[in-house]
Amino acid sequence: MAALEAAATVLSGQQPPADAPAVTALANQLLAWVTRARLNLTVSPITYRQGSVPGPEPTRYTDGGNVQLTDTQQVLLTVQPEDSKGFPTSDTLTWSSADDTVVSLQPSADTLSCLVVAGNPGLGVVVTVTDGTISATDSFDVVPGGVATLQITEGTPEEQPPAP
């Protein structure tokens, strides 16, 4: 946030906005202006825009959100790679999960979307999509779903205490 405030102050002569969506929008505009490259990762209805600076090593920018699923849910992620002018590219993307036991991935044939399927409960599992140069990430928390069964266990019968 401090770096964003400094950049916003220097570049626009204004103070950055106070609410999170406006700060994210300003950061995305600044990133697109500086890098001229972007990768849009969409978890409906939220879009995360990622970028990279030119150079020999891949650079990862993580400003994705945190998606919470119950252990019986799944969500479709979609990506639209764009060139520096915003035109779609035909890049082949690679999807990966930091822990397949918590969230498993089912990428589409064209690699522009991926079904994220919840498994065992777990927190902060990162899902990454990359074209080999730039990457976008999202963090997933999988929590137990609602009660599916109830089991009653009987104790051993015993005498009541005498009345006072």
Biggest CA–CA distance in the chain, Å, is 86
The model's pTM is: 0.56
Average pLDDT over residues 87-116: 92
Q: If DSSP states are collapsed to H, E and C, what string results for 10-53? A: HHHCCCCCCCHHHHHHHHHHHHHHHHCCEEEEEECCEEEEECCC
pLDDT over threshold 60, residue 1? no
Asked if 134 and 56 sit in the same domain, the reply is yes
Asked if 30 and 83 sit in the same domain, the reply is no
pLDDT grade for 17, boundaries at 50, 70 and 90: low
Q: What percent of the chain has pLDDT over 70?
A: 60
Asked if 47 and 86 sit in the same domain, the reply is yes
Whether 164 is covered by a domain: the verdict is no
Look up the domain containing 49 and give its range. Answer: 38-143
Do the beta carbons of residue 126 and residue 139 sit within 8 Å?
yes
Asked if 62 and 128 sit in the same domain, the reply is yes
Asked if 99 and 114 sit in the same domain, the reply is yes
pLDDT grade for 146, boundaries at 50, 70 and 90: confident
- What count of other Cβ atoms lies within 10 Å of the Cβ of residue 130? 19
Tokens of 27: 């950061």
Count of all residues that appear for the chain in the document: 164
Average pLDDT over residues 130-159: 86
Tokens of 13: 């002569």
- Closest-CA residue to 127 (of 118, 24, 22): 118
Whether 45 is covered by a domain: the verdict is yes
For 36-79, what is each residue's pLDDT tens digit? Answer: 555 555 554 443 344 443 433 333 334 456 888 888 888 888 88
